A and B are shown apart, each in its own frame.
Chain A
């Protein structure tokens, strides 16, 4: 009798293995060394993982019979996730002690969370995706609560309770999809739907609606977005930064894989349109009334989920590059913005927007960089956000979703008001001098400078990234 070996491709597991080994090492070393060393170890591990992605480029590897898929698109997703996580860990180096997070467990949990996000990006079936999502979510719940403060405990609790419900909804959805198609793998689900070899269409539809609802929670789309402002505002700022970039990118990676790879034939376009419209309108309108910068950025994150969701509707060969480009620009802008907020805030409650008045005269570089990030988020040239919105809205427009494009454009006009208000306030002479801590934050400054550079370069030379997608292998992967 011949032994049936499972299909395991160790090369394909390289990125996840590196990050897991780093995490385990960090866990062990955490007993012996300082938090700073652990964080440096974590950053090294993430940089190595990022490097391994270049090695895997264009190889289109799979493992475990397709349960892990390393297409170029998923590699780009993983790359954006890692850039975001490196930036947030770098920022955390300066602020952990002030935020009462100065223990190695913080970085260790962060690393486990990142391994979950990579699992989502490389997932080839629903179960792997779910495992990744749960690893990521559990880490984030803990990160949100880790600080010993009522606000952060409340935030973590809220996140945990609502997040569990969302996970449950997702699992029901997965179960129903499995019931309808008899498979968990993205490819076989798609084939089953395409060849119409299944009986129960209602099961499939209900399943995809449940999946849509579950993911809408994870990426903060209306009407499942209610947790976002409270959790963002209540969590320590460095955790908020992580959530707003890494978790969101990962959740979008999962959303895109499931709906474009597994369920392109199912009938979810109409509910998705309703959800996206609600998200764009609700997020932007609510952001107008925020007086606190972290809450405003939380609503901005909701609004951006709406724009990003347009990629779901558009033709994949237009939508996916647009989505990735937008996520990249958004990662840098948000990482930078939260890093600036972390440097300026007195405590983890963030800063009231009116208090930012006159910042330029005391901290000119902070003010200029924050203004650049806000302008990029608003989509004003020559920053990354402009090209991102151009490609994203263009993709939706060219795929025939004209009404959605108009909603997106009109709501981003509304958005200008709340992005420009703090951006401009900072340049006005202050009426009263605010006391500001005059401590250097070398690592956060590095994050900010890197983000400014990336935001400008991506805005002026977008071709560097966009040409990645001209590659025929990428084009193939997107279809």
Chain B
């Protein structure tokens, strides 16, 4: 399966990659996006099975990417990894069709708990 990781921080993308490997999902095809527009474009073009997205990204935010994908009829499994989690953010994420909401700092155990049902 293909996983797209969207975060404007190169370091954070690598942390997500490493944590996916530690959780046992390292054999999946991993694609990276450095901002929201790139995340939207690559999700449309490469049709990943899962998108793991940051919330705050320059230009287009993660929630905007999700809303535009849904508006375009794209039902990709999409969720957030972010440094803060307000009730407003969670509500907006769920209303837009987010599958999960992981708060930093995260662990391999948390990734396994969330992604095992999705990735098998």
Say whether A and B bind each other: no
Residues of A within 8 A of B (CB): none
Residues of B within 8 A of A (CB): none
